[in-house]
Structure 1
Amino acid sequence: MRQRSAPFTRHLRVHRDRGHTVLEFRGEIDIAAEAEIAPHLDRETGRPGARVVIDLSRVEFFDCSGLRLLFRARSRMLAHDGELHLVCAHALTLRMLRITGLAPLLPPRPTLDAVLGRPGAASGPL
C-alpha cells in the first residue's frame, strides 16, 4: 500500500511503499537539487534499521551532486544497519555509477517493483 509521507518538492517526492521509504528524485539533480534533497535524505537514512529506496526513474540530469547524495545515503545506511536500494534504468546515469565504482556497492534495479515486488527480487540489504 502506498502512502505519501511528505509533500512534493521540485526535486523530491518521499512516500512509503511496501514497508520501505521511497525517495523519488525528480528532474535535474545538480547542486541546487542536492541542497533541497539532503535534509530529507538525512532524516530518512538516519533512522536505525531503516529500509530506503532511492528511485532515479524520473531524473532527467544527474551530475556529481547526485553521486554525493548516493554515497552519503549509503554511508549513513551502513552506519545505521539499514537497507538501501537503488532504482535506475537511464543509460548515462548507469554508466556514471559504473565508472565511479558505485554500481557494485549499490546495485541498481530497473524498476521499483524489481526492488519491492516479488520475494527475492530485491538486491538485499547493504
Structure 2
Amino acid sequence: MHHDPAPLTRHLRIHRDGGHLVLEFHGEIDVVAASEITPFLDSATGRPAPRVVIDLRPVEFFDCSGLRLLYRARRRVLAQGGTLHLVCTHALTLRILRITGLAQVLPPSTSVAEALGRPEAAGSVETG
C-alpha cells in the first residue's frame, strides 16, 4: 500500500516500497537543501545492506550539491553492501548526470517500479 508521506523537510519525503526506502527529493536541490537532506540520507545509507531508491522526479532545480548527495549516497550504500537505485525524468538533470558520468555508475530509471525491476544498480561494482 502506498500513501503520500509527510515531508521530513520541504525538500525530502521518505516512504517504503517493496522493501526499499524511497527518498523523494523535492523542489530546488542546492546547498541549503543538501544540508537539510544529508542527515536523513546518512541515516538511510548507514545501516547494514541498505536498499535505497532516490527519486528525483519532483525536483525543479539540481546543482552540484545534489550531485554530491548522490555520490555520497552511492559511496555509503556500497560500503554497507547495499543497493541504490535512481529515478529521474527531468531532461536537464539527466543531462547533468550524463555529463558527470554519474548516469553510467547509477543508471536512472523513469519510475520507482522500473528501478525496482532493474538489476541491483550499485551493489556489485565500485568504480572511481
Both structures adopt the same fold (TM-score exceeding 0.5): yes
One-letter code of the match for 2:75?
S
State whether residues 107 and 123 of structure 1, in contact with CA within 8 Å, keep that contact through their aligned partners in structure 2.
no
Residue 125 of structure 2: aligned partner:
none
Report the counterpart of residue 118 of structure 2 in structure 1. 122
The residue aligned with 1:43 is 43
Provide the rounded CA distance (Å) in 2 between the counterparts of 1:39 and 1:51.
Answer: 17
Which amino acid letter does the alignment assign opposite residue 13 of structure 2? R
Q: In percent, how many aligned pairs have the same letter?
A: 63
Aligned to 1:79: 79
Give, as a single letter, the amino acid of the residue that structure 2 aligns with 1:39: P
Q: For the residues of structure 1 that align with 2:26 and 2:119, how far apart are their CA atoms?
A: 23
Runs of 4+ in 1 over 6 A off after TM superposition: none
Partner of 1:32: 32
- Any conservation in 1 of the 2:13–2:25 contact (CA below 8 Å)? yes
Shift of 1:125: 3.9
Measured in 2, the distance between the counterparts of 1:100 and 1:18 equals 30
Match of 2:98 in 1: 98
Q: Structure 1 length as normaliser, TM-score?
A: 0.91
Letter of the aligned partner of 1:53 in structure 2? V
Question: Is 2:56 aligned against 1:56?
Answer: yes
| 8 Å contact from structure 2 (residues 107, 121) kept in 1 | no
Question: 1:23 is matched with which residue?
Answer: 23
Equivalent AA in structure 1 for residue 118 of structure 2: A
Quote the Cα distance in structure 2 between the aligned partners of 1:11 and 1:74.
19
Structure 2 gaps of 5+ residues are 123-128
Equivalenced residues, count: 121
Structure 2 counterpart SS, 1:60: strand
Question: Please, what is the CA RMSD of the aligned residues?
Answer: 1.4
